[in-house]
Amino acid sequence: MTTLPDRAQQIIQSHAVLIVSLVKACEDDEMLQKIEPMLKAVEEYGKPELSAALRKILDGSREADISSNMDEDDRVIIDAILEGLQDPTSLPDPRAKADGSAAAPGLARMILLAAKGDQNAMQMVASMAEQMAVAGGSMALMGDVLNRMVEGERDPGKLSEKMDARGESLVLSILLELNKLKAH
């Protein structure tokens, strides 16, 4: 994978499943149905420009300026997809670990939406939890924690039980973000 600044690399790794799935969907029409819930979730999480750009890529657009009206994070995602379409060896490993603190705000929003009954968010959480369970170890624990957070558990001690320091840090980061979102 190309060496990128830490922030860009973290964004790519945090969105690895989306990036890899979209590239696969561009190459395999059967993947289009599987990626539709992701696209809807992206839009519902306040990223309609990103969702529209992803749909343009699925429709065949490969222009570099497709991300010109987006924030830096979204441009990094689009650029990684476009690069992945040209050079599949540049794609991130969706099973690799990313710094969880960068993922906490997005996870917290998804957890809140799922807890309110949002079907797309519930599907995304379930899909993430399933992928984490397959990965095993501390990732399996985190998948269970996400489900428990959707169900309303907020006790950091109960949620981070049996986790290593990295998992505990992620749980605390998500809880902090949940509290921030609740305050708004």
Q: Does the pLDDT value for residue 40 go beyond 90?
A: no
Average pLDDT over the chain reads 83
Per residue in 59-77, pLDDT tens?
A: 999 987 888 888 888 889 9
In the prediction, which pLDDT does 154 show?
A: 93
* Cα distance between residue 23 and residue 83, in whole Å: 10
CB 13 within 8 A of CB 96: yes
What's the Cα-to-Cα distance from 63 to each of 21, 51, 75, rounded to whole Å?
19, 16, 12
Break the chain into its structural domains and give their ranges. 6-90, 100-183
Whether the model clears a pTM of 0.95, i.e. scores above it, the answer is no
Residue corresponding to tokens 């991300």: 67
Secondary element (H or E) of residue 84: helix 72-86
